[in-house]
Structure formats: structure tokens, C-alpha cells
Structure 1
Amino acid sequence: MMSRNWFITGTSSGFGRIMTERLLERGDTVVATLRRRDALDALQARYSDRLHVVALDVTDTQMVRQVVDQAFARLGHIDVVVSNAGYGLFGAVEEVSDAQIRDQINTNVIGSIAVVRAALPHFRAQGGGRILQLSSMGGQIAFPGLGLYHASKWAIEGFFESLVQEVASFGIEATLIEPGAARTQFGRGSMVMSDPLEAYQTLPFSARREVLAHESYTPIGDPEKMVHEMIASVDVSPAPLRLALGSDAYRLMHEALAKRLELLEAQKDIAVSTDASS
């Protein structure tokens, strides 16, 4: 297999860290970005010739542009950009603070868009490239208590639905990665929690808050297997627009899509009746 050059954001833990490790093991080259460079010191020492670690806060759009430009300049050619940086925010929409809302959108939406926008001119110049955007089953379904997280993922999915049509003629392809709950740090003590309001403590999602915040929370998804499929998707052409990972993702997304189609069909007559008569 021919080696590839990768640019990956959010590599200190979770999917980004695992992907970086697996790619280096198989002989690929990785530009790995994260907020704290020392989180990859051990890997850097082992793969100093093929791992380039760069500090990056994806909410700093100017910095994103500089880091992406420098990565393409250093390697000459980057095959795959993986926009992985992001996190979850839990809280009823009335509970989350204005600052928490801004941080969630700035990281998960604007940060992801900034990374892709910075890469596009380089991909066009080199005649193509592949983008893997970490979304979530939460970009197709919604749970109470995760309204702002869902807002960020539904937003990025709409962005990519449009983007892939704009850049197809340049040989640029993209895949939205939609994992279910996985055994990463995402929901095992690392999720940002809003300050609870008394009015919401008797509602069903209050129990979910306790589960997600607890270190013993063990989802069904195997992150190693998920990362394997993410990497393998780059060999598929044309690129799949979406990659669902996890039995929970498949089941819940299937149920949600079927229900939405059912509701749409029930409104067909109303929809048609509102067309202009001439």
C-alpha cells in the first residue's frame, strides 16, 4: 500500500490519537495538531521523521490558516485532512450559558469549517484530496440535554452536503463520519456540563446527565474498530458521503430517518396544495 500524508486535528486523545498511532505504525506521515504539544511527546520521540506535532486551537481562524498552509508547504502534498477536533456539551437549552454556546459552536462548527476552507485551495492546486469530517450519529438524531451539541453536528452536516457538490469537479471528496457512542473520553468524564436548574432535575434526561458525567460510563462502540473503518474509507472511491459506525448509530439513525420520511409522506397533500396554480 502506498503511504499517505495526513493532517489531523484534535490528536491528544480519542479518535484523533488512535488514528495518528495507527497511521504511523503502518508507515504514513502525519501532521498532528492539538492544544498541548506535550500530549504526543512519546509518539514524537518514536516517529520523529514522520510525525509533525503542531499546537493549534481551531477556534483561532487565522492560526488555522497558518498551520494548514505550513503543513502543505512542509510535506508538499497532503492526501487526507481529518477534521476531528470537537467536544460535547450537555445541558438543557435553558441551562447552558451564553459562553458555553459560543464555545461549542466556535469549536465544532466554525473550527471545522475553518480547517476545511484552509485546505481547499491546496487541494485544488494539487488536483484533489480527501476530507474526513468527524460528525456523529448526533448529526442525524437528537436527545434531550444535547441540544447545542446536536445543533453543531446538524450544522456541519448541512455544510458538507453543500460542500461536496461544490468541490467534486476538483477531485476533492469528503466523508462525514457518524459514530455512535464509543469508548473514548468523549462522554466519560470529559463532556462539558452546564450548571443544572432545579426545574429540570425531575425530567428523564437528568439521569442521562449523571451517566455521561461518570467515569464508569461504558458505551458499546470500539474506537479501535471505528478508526480502522475511518482509515479504510479513504480507499473507497467514490468516497461515501456518510460512514455510520456502531450498531447504536445504525439503529437510531434508521429509526429517525424512517420516522421523518413517514411524517413527510403524511404531509404530501399539504405540500403539493401550496404550489402556485399557474
Structure 2
Amino acid sequence: MKRLLIAGLLACPLCATAVEQFSPSAAELRMLPPFCTDRLEKGSGGKNVASAARLGKANYLHIHHYCFAVNFVNRATRAHEKKNRLYNLGLAKNNYLYVINATEPRFWMRPQIYVELGKVLLQLKEAGDAVRLFNEAITFNPAYEPAYHALIDLQRQSGRAKDGLEVATAGLQRIPDSRSLKKAYLELGGKEPFPEPVVKAAPVPPETSSTPEPDPAGTPAGAAVTTAEGAAVTSGLEAPGGSAPAPTSGCRFCPPEEIQRKWEKSFKGGQE
């Protein structure tokens, strides 16, 4: 029976991948962020663990799934066969989605997770969902530069230089000192002077009157208003065992549906 099992695994590379150790090996763990070693070797409690304090207790509890996701992406990169690469990308996608659903809505790592998951989705030929995640990263943190570059790279690959220039322009308005965004802006046809940075309005001092009058929209004057950038942003992609809430962000840089359908059919995403 043992010989038959070994023979079956040798005859089925995908099966061999399926029974590979799920958690990172010692060598793989050294390629991951330091908090992965803390979470996987010191347990979920996080007592007296600096990375647990930095991530937040509720997020630290689930962060090992992020570590799994990154490790599966690394395995996909090393895979020689397409089916093994797709298998590991699928596992990475599921673990990223788990983290998005399980961590706090305002977890500071969300923009990074959105962009990393978006790049996985591109390789799985799910470009429309990838673009929405890149947009969500920008909505969550308009100064998160990798999200702009992810969108610019995709627009370039799709031959949509004008749209790429729009993204680079928006990025420079938020991150005016970025050399890489300036370079992309010029390469995509932008001209100097570079776009003016967005100036945040100065906070208005609170009124001293006793009862604020409601404004025409029904919001009391002086009351806190939650904007799209301040709202919780989660992926609308379905995760194993349930689905995340619909994203509260708009999709400013999403192309028309017709273009997205073409992407789904023709975008190669490194699967050749």
C-alpha cells in the first residue's frame, strides 16, 4: 500500500503539491516578515510580543493567514508547472480573503493586502476584481504608493496610456515627492509642471452655541461625517465560509465593463 501511495504521488504533481506541508518550512519562514515567525512560533496570545502590539491583538490573532498567503505566492513563483502555480495562487487568494474578512476594518495593513491580493488575481485572470482592490487600497489610504503603480502597470499592459496618466496624476496629487510616480507621469505623456498636491482643509473650530442647527441634508452642524476615505473598506470578493461586506469605496479608476470583460478573456497574467 505504501509503495502504491508513493507511486501515485509521483504520477500526480498536483497531488504532491496538495500534500505539501501547509505551513511554511523553516527555510520558507526566513523569507517572510518577522511577525510571521512570532505568530507561528510563539502562538496566538501575543503576550510580551512586540509585533502583536504593533499589529493589534485582534489582527495578530489572524495574521498567520497573511503569512500563509505570502508563502503560497512564493511557492507559485518557484513552481515549474502551470497547474502547481495555479494551485498555490488559489491557496494564496483564499488566505488573503480570510485576512480581509477576519481582521479589523481599519487595520493599517489593509492597503498592502489589497494590492498583494490584486496581483494574485491578475495571475488568475481576474483583472476586474484586481482593479477594484487596487482602488480600495487607494480609498483606504490615498498615500499608499504601490496601489497607484499597480494600476499604472496594468493600464500600460492594456495599452491604456491615457488612463495610466490619470492614475499617475492622482498619485502625484497625494504623494508629490514620489520620483517613481513623476517618472511614470512623464513616460505616459504628462508635462511639467507636475500636478499640484491636494491641500487638506484646516479643521473648523467647533461652534460654541448650545444646539447645532441641522443642515439641508439632515446632518447636524458640527456632527462627524464619515467619508468614503474614513469608512471601513473590505473586499467584496467572496471568501471561504462567507462573504465580506460590499466595498464602501467607489471604483475611480475602473475601466468600463466592456473593457473589463475583454481583460477577463485576454489578459495573460503570467500564466503562459
TM-score computed with the length of structure 1 as normaliser: 0.30
In proportion to residue count, which structure has more strand? 1
TM-score computed with the length of structure 2 as normaliser: 0.31
